[in-house]
Amino acid sequence: MATLIGTVSKIIGQVFAVASDGTRRVLVEGDRLFAGDQLNTGAEGAVAVRLQNGQELTLGRGSSLQMTPQLLANQVPHVDTAEAVTPSQAQLSDVEQLQKAIAAGDDPTQTAEATAAGPSTGAPGGAAGGGHSFVMLEEVGGRVDPNIGFPTAGFNGIPEFPDERLAGDIDPDGDPAAVTAPVLPPVVTPQVPPAADNPVTLNGLSVEGGELSVKEASLATGSASNPGALTQNGTFTINAPDGLSSLSIGGINVISGGVASGFPQSITTPLGSTLTITGYNPVTGVVSYSYTLNGSETHTTDDGTSLSEQFTVVASDSDGDTATGSLDINITDDLPKAIDDDNGVASETQLTLNGNVLTNDVQGADRVPVGENSGPITPGTFVGTYGTLVLNANGTYTYTLNTSDPDFKALHGGGNGTETFTYTLTDADGDSSTANLVLNIHNNDDGVTINGLEVEGGELTVYEKNLSDGSSSDAPALTQSGTFTITALDGVQTLTIGGINVVVGGVSAGFPQSITTPLGSTLTITGFNPQTGVVSYSYTLTDNEAHPNANGANSLSEQFAVTVVDDNGTTANGSLDVNIVDDLPKGVDDSNLSTASESLLTLNGNVLTNDVQGADRVPVGENSGPITPGTFVGTYGTLVLNANGTYTYTLNTSD
């Protein structure tokens, strides 16, 4: 059980007692004080305590004293006080004796002991109307443990003075007495030193970057969920030697009127988190608190990765001194992190690749809701080296390979490449992160094909009859054009047609390119489209050809070898065939306008004149030509036919 030290007998102003457990209470008369209590007087406060040993203890303004069993020892405690010392009863008795001596006519300067101020100056003293002086000593000190000293007390009675003698009074001898005014003790005003005005200070609220730090990453939706780390604890210290009268933290009234509130006390902060004051120790001045992050916050781009929530701290002491500080909580933003992605292999047999770049990304606490057409990914259509990527806001994508792309063909058969697309992930408060989507590209080792060179009877047909000396001259018809197509997915390395180098080392030659064919005609390569693989050409018949004998209206074919080699050495061969149709001669019946008779025995003419010799004509000379010559005996005469077509018919009138 705690030791009772004394009971409060008098109170002036406001006086507090702080128990050993930190509880602070305002004292009133009759309150009991126990060992371990600490007395604190304010700027205008004073207290008198009746100790258990019968002594009285007084404590002046702006003072403090610890209640200990030493105060009950057989000695008067020494108390630090700013109050004046009150004259004791002994002092009052000395004054009364001095007054009686003066009334009896004695000279105090001659009969009294030397004053504390030293020997007399020789001047008369004690006369009527005169005064006297004395030195009152008092002790002034700081907060100390009590020691034996001079007790303080009030007057216990009223000073007695000699009866007043008035003018006209008769002394014992019958003579009029001299009127002597009573000498009253001077009114002494104790010199009270001003009470110390101690400031209030706050320690532990000037931590660079904030007193506490919490991370959004620890939230349930954060990148490193850790619920236990969402609450952080801290302390700071208040030093108020004059006694703490009020304390507020972020709007929480921790102390009001010198009395501490119960703990814990919590508020929901402007940012939606929780600030809790968990305790206050009045003996040490330590304030304990905690902060709990309840959800993600909107960080601005100017804040970088941190947001500060600040709480004003205001502390005031009993004489009005105030200190202000700021309790700062640093909230670290949970930044998104985009992570590189890859997918399968796009090739001629796998033209499209599908996926989602968001699947392996870390969105963080400030995530953007994902929908069919919404999400944290910056969408767009991106043309790559070998194909095109369509990226959606929700992270899904489709890549389409373009096998006709020159860069793809440049990979050649069996070659590999990569497509790299950079995408951006952005969270709800504007923080972003980029990563790469890397796609593999493979050019298969494809075969080479030639289409359009399998036409029965030849790819082109020209007619000798269209020659200028043909049976049906038509110069434009002598030139015929055509095309065929090369399919070489790995790219064309070389292409030759009838000895014409159309593509060499993957590079097309200029066009047109022409050669004179073995039969004397003209073959021309008019173009090659690497994108489509189409080869265009023409053939011009420049003269009649020597067709095989006795075959009638036959055809003669002129053939040109076609060879294609792709980039990895795969080869395809074909033949471009041109059909040359023979121009046949046509003999036309003849007649003679004259009539053979006795008066006109011979008829002359030329059977070749109206015949069609065709393109393959035989030169006509005096004794040569396309006509089979001979002498033919007829019914009425004889016909002599020459090779050049001329003839003579002789009538035989004797027949």
pLDDT in tens, 201-244: 999 998 888 999 999 999 998 889 999 999 999 999 999 998 89
Q: Which helix (H) or strand (E) holds 17?
A: strand 15-18
Q: What is the C-alpha to C-alpha distance for residues 540 and 479, in angstroms, rounded to an integer?
A: 4
The pLDDT-based confidence of 101 (bands split at 50, 70, 90) is low
Question: Has residue 112 got a pLDDT over 80?
Answer: no
* Segment 608-619 mean pLDDT: 77
pLDDT score of 572 = 95
Where in the chain is CATH 2.60.40? 201-332, 341-442, 448-581
Which residues are registered as beta bridge partners of 231? 292
pLDDT score of 95 = 56
Identify the residue with better confidence: 36 or 119.
Answer: 36
Comparing 150-159, 196-205, 570-579, the range with the smallest average pLDDT is: 150-159
Q: Which of 285, 286, 261, 288 is nearest to 277 (CA)?
A: 288
Contact 6, 27 (CB under 8 A): no
Question: What's the pLDDT tens digit per position in 76-87?
Answer: 444 444 444 445
Task: Decide: residue 560, CB within 10 A, 0-12 exposed, 13-18 middle, 19+ buried.
Answer: buried
* Segment 281-289 mean pLDDT: 94
Q: Which of 434, 258, 436 is nearest to 342 (CA)?
A: 436
pLDDT score of 552 = 60
Contact 77, 146 (CB under 8 A): yes
* Segment 589-616 mean pLDDT: 85
pLDDT score of 128 = 43
Question: Has residue 271 got a pLDDT over 70?
Answer: yes
Identify the residue with better confidence: 116 or 635.
Answer: 635
CA atoms within 13 A on the CB side of 503: 23
Contact 152, 83 (CB under 8 A): yes
Q: Where are the beta strands (DSSP E) in 177-230?
A: 201-203, 212-215
Q: What is the C-alpha to C-alpha distance for residues 18 and 283, in angstroms, rounded to an integer?
A: 8
Q: What is the C-alpha to C-alpha distance for residues 105 and 370, in angstroms, rounded to an integer?
A: 114
Highest mean pLDDT among 266-270, 410-414, 445-449, 640-644: 266-270
**Residue type at 340?**
D
Contact 423, 378 (CB under 8 A): yes
Helices then strands, each counted (H, E), the chain: 3, 41
Q: Which of 153, 184, 149, 133 is nearest to 86 (CA)?
A: 153
Residue 410 neighbours by CB under 8 Å, 6+ apart:
491
Peptide bond into 548 cis (omega under 30): no
pLDDT score of 212 = 96
The pLDDT-based confidence of 642 (bands split at 50, 70, 90) is very high
pLDDT > 70 fraction of the chain, expressed in percent and rounded: 79
Question: Has residue 179 got a pLDDT over 90?
Answer: no
Question: What's the pLDDT tens digit per position in 343-390?
Answer: 999 999 999 999 999 999 999 888 999 999 999 999 999 999 999 999
Question: Has residue 247 got a pLDDT over 90?
Answer: yes
Q: For 448-581, CATH number?
A: 2.60.40
Strands 460-463 and 571-581, sheet pairing: parallel
Q: What is the C-alpha to C-alpha distance for residues 380 and 565, in angstroms, rounded to an integer?
A: 39
pLDDT score of 615 = 65
Would you tell me which CATH number, out of the four given (1.10.3470, 2.60.40, 3.40.190, 1.10.15), belongs to the domain 201-332?
2.60.40
pLDDT score of 501 = 96
Q: What is the C-alpha to C-alpha distance for residues 247 and 321, in angstroms, rounded to an integer?
A: 12
Domain 341-442, what fold? Answer: Immunoglobulin-like (2.60.40)
* Segment 466-475 mean pLDDT: 88
Q: What is the C-alpha to C-alpha distance for residues 590 and 593, in angstroms, rounded to an integer?
A: 10
Identify the residue with better confidence: 610 or 1.
Answer: 610
* 614-648 CB burial, b ≥16 within 10 A, e <16: bbbbeebeeeebbbeeeeeeeeebeeebbbbbbbe
Question: Has residue 517 got a pLDDT over 90?
Answer: yes
What the block records as the tokens of 131 is 């005064």
Question: Has residue 318 got a pLDDT over 90?
Answer: no
Task: Indicate the SS3 state at residue 582.
Answer: coil
What the block records as the tokens of 380 is 């767009």
**Residue type at 622?**
E
Average pLDDT of the chain to the nearest whole number = 83
- In SS3 terms, 150-190 reads as CCCCCCCCCCCCCCCCCCCCECCCCCECCCCCCCCCCCCCC
Count CB neighbours of 450 within 10 A. Answer: 22
Question: What's the pLDDT tens digit per position in 524-553?
Answer: 999 999 989 999 999 999 998 877 765 565
Question: What's the pLDDT tens digit per position in 129-167?
Answer: 444 333 333 333 444 444 444 445 454 544 444 444 444
pLDDT score of 81 = 42
Question: Has residue 392 got a pLDDT over 80?
Answer: yes
* Segment 399-421 mean pLDDT: 90
The pLDDT-based confidence of 194 (bands split at 50, 70, 90) is low
Identify the residue with better confidence: 179 or 547.
Answer: 547
Q: Which of 11, 102, 94 is nearest to 58 (CA)?
A: 11
Question: What's the pLDDT tens digit per position in 292-309?
Answer: 999 988 877 655 578 899
Contact 572, 450 (CB under 8 A): yes
Contact 5, 51 (CB under 8 A): yes
Count CB neighbours of 453 within 10 A. Answer: 19
To the nearest 10°, the Cα dihedral for 69, 74, 75, 79?
20
pLDDT score of 304 = 55
Contact 101, 82 (CB under 8 A): no
- Look up the pTM and report it: 0.47
